[in-house]
Amino acid sequence: MTAAAAQRPWGRVEFEERLRAVAEERYHDRHPFNIRMNEGRLSPAELRRWIINRFYYQRNIPVKDALITAKFDSPDLRRMWMRRIEDHDGREVGEGGIERWLRLGEAAGLDRAVLLSDTDVLPGVRLAVDGYVNFCRLRSPIEAVAASLTELSAPDLMRRRIEAFERHYPWIDAEGLVYFRARVRQGRRDSGETLPLVLSMARNRAEQEQAVAALAFKCEVLWSLLDAVDLAEQEIRW
Amino acid sequence: MTAAAAQRPWGRVEFEERLRAVAEERYHDRHPFNIRMNEGRLSPAELRRWIINRFYYQRNIPVKDALITAKFDSPDLRRMWMRRIEDHDGREVGEGGIERWLRLGEAAGLDRAVLLSDTDVLPGVRLAVDGYVNFCRLRSPIEAVAASLTELSAPDLMRRRIEAFERHYPWIDAEGLVYFRARVRQGRRDSGETLPLVLSMARNRAEQEQAVAALAFKCEVLWSLLDAVDLAEQEIRW
């Protein structure tokens, strides 16, 4: 391939395929910790550690989404993106994804004050999540938006997770799983909006490559989060 | 007064009085250009120049509000602040303050494409508005929030402006004034939320002083915007 061809923009189909390939191949559903979760091999202590640490990610989602909202100069795009903040914060007190995650914690025997205190969040989890928020703060609009495309793979993961929890972790009340159920629908709707947006935002090959790299980075964030949770458990076990 | 006393926090009443004093004494309703506007002494060309340049401020309000939203770690505060973004962007296409300002422009004979293009925005206006957005991006939460307290004085300015437009500029259709009418109500509601928030956010004298300085800075932003619009007209006239 010549240098000129290398710079030619991918066609829409190829660009979408490349994004989908990253979202599929590098998604954290393949992480050993997630596989053990789905196979029912996590102890209650391991599951609680994951719930506490993943909450640090959950509570930062609206922050990164507000930072992305601030990158748009169009009311239509801001309105679209703000709906994600609402999904997590709720339209009213007692609603939203953050509240639902707190209820997951309670269903697993964790007081919400423990989750809200942040004190048990592992350093590696903090670095991964803060790194993601800063990526959305500092990078270009297309990079910040493309990083959200892990939602292409999220609905499948959520469906498998619900099945695994119902089957292997019956000590967690089914009421605690409402977060996962809501995300199946929200993830489908979000990716249905974000994918066309990323495809249309990229004006040249360089921006297409930045979008693919941003999505790969986001996969690494989620993977690193599970690495940190997994390793901490090993340290306890060995 | 001793150094120790200088560091003692102001009581709630004194702190509020100091904020209100800045919002009153340094607000841009005292700017010569605003006084000429209220006295009916602006030409159609001058009024249109102001509408075009002030639109650059209007369209950036939701951006700075999204940046402030990203500074809060509480769903309640984010939810409260996001309502301001909605006020300007609208819940639906064709609603919101930005749309209403475009209609003000149309009522004054300006095509909305002219306002949306940004090409006639004066350098001094750009510097003032971008400076305000970056202030909200980079400063502490209390400073970013306190800068919004010019809304303490906004409803009075809006009411006087509506009277002045109806009386002195009948060539602007009354339908064009809906932006100002909506802001009377929104400004009262917003300042009713923001003032208690600022009063409670300040944990010591240093933060109280930062809040007062932030509000003074915001007054300077609005004043500089009118300086730029006023000076440009002088250059044309002389």
Each residue of A36-93: pLDDT tens digit?
A: 999 999 999 999 999 999 999 999 999 999 999 999 999 999 999 999 999 999 999 9
Report ipTM (2 d.p.).
0.91
Q: Is A179 within the bounds of a domain?
A: yes
Cβ <8 Å between A78 and B98:
no
Query: What number of C-beta contacts closer than 8 Å exist between A and B?
Result: 65
Chain A residues touching B91 at Cβ < 8 A: 79
- CA dihedral A62→A65→A71→A75, nearest 10 degrees, is -90
Q: Is B89 on the interface with A (CB under 8 A)?
A: yes
Number of H helices, E strands in chain A: 12, 0
Q: Give me the pLDDT at residue B119, please.
A: 87
Each residue of B27-44: pLDDT tens digit?
A: 999 999 999 999 999 999
Confidence of residue A234 (pLDDT cuts 50, 70, 90): confident
Each residue of A123-146: pLDDT tens digit?
A: 999 999 999 999 999 999 999 999
Q: Give me the pLDDT at residue A209, please.
A: 98
Find, among B12, B14, B78, B10, the residue nearest to A64 by Cα. Answer: B78
Each residue of B125-139: pLDDT tens digit?
A: 999 999 999 999 999
Computed on alpha carbons and rounded to an integer, the radius of gyration of chain A in Å comes to: 18
- State the residue for tokens 């500074």: B71
- For the record, the structure tokens of B106 come out as 């149309």
Q: Is B2 within the bounds of a domain?
A: no
Q: Give me the pLDDT at residue A2, please.
A: 61
Residue A4 pLDDT exceeds 80: no
Which of A59, A82, A90 is the closest to B85 by Cβ? A82
- Count the domains in chain B: 1
Q: Give me the pLDDT at residue B2, please.
A: 61
pLDDT greater at residue B119 or residue A164: A164
Residue A33 pLDDT exceeds 90: yes
* A192: containing domain: 10-237
Q: Is B111 within the bounds of a domain?
A: yes
Each residue of A171-180: pLDDT tens digit?
A: 999 999 999 9
Q: Is B196 within the bounds of a domain?
A: yes
Read off the CATH number of the domain in which B118 is found.
Answer: 1.20.910.10
Q: Is A1 within the bounds of a domain?
A: no
Residue B50 pLDDT exceeds 50: yes
Q: Give me the pLDDT at residue B238, please.
A: 45
Confidence of residue A5 (pLDDT cuts 50, 70, 90): low
Cβ <8 Å between B75 and A69:
no
Which of B78, B86, B90 is the closest to A66 by Cβ? B78
Residue A238 pLDDT exceeds 50: no
CA–CA min distance B79, chain A (Å): 7
Q: Is B199 on the interface with A (CB under 8 A)?
A: no
Residues 142-171 of A with CB under 8 A from B: none
Q: Give me the pLDDT at residue A237, please.
A: 52
Cβ <8 Å between A82 and B78:
no
Q: Is A5 within the bounds of a domain?
A: no
Distance between CA atoms of residues B84 and B47, nearest Å: 26
- Residues in CB range of A1: below 8 A, 6 or more apart: none
Confidence of residue A111 (pLDDT cuts 50, 70, 90): very high
Each residue of B58-113: pLDDT tens digit?
A: 999 999 999 999 999 999 999 999 999 999 999 999 999 999 999 999 999 999 99
- DSSP secondary-structure letter at B139? S
* Whether this model's pTM surpasses 0.90: yes
Distance between CA atoms of residues B33 and B43, nearest Å: 12
Residue B124 pLDDT exceeds 90: yes
Chain A residues touching B86 at Cβ < 8 A: 79, 82
Residue A189 pLDDT exceeds 50: yes
Which of B63, B88, B93 is the closest to A76 by Cβ? B93
pLDDT greater at residue B4 or residue B212: B212
Q: Residue type at B76?
A: D
Q: Is B177 within the bounds of a domain?
A: yes
Find, among A123, A133, A138, A132, the residue nearest to A219 by Cα. Answer: A132
Q: Is B4 within the bounds of a domain?
A: no
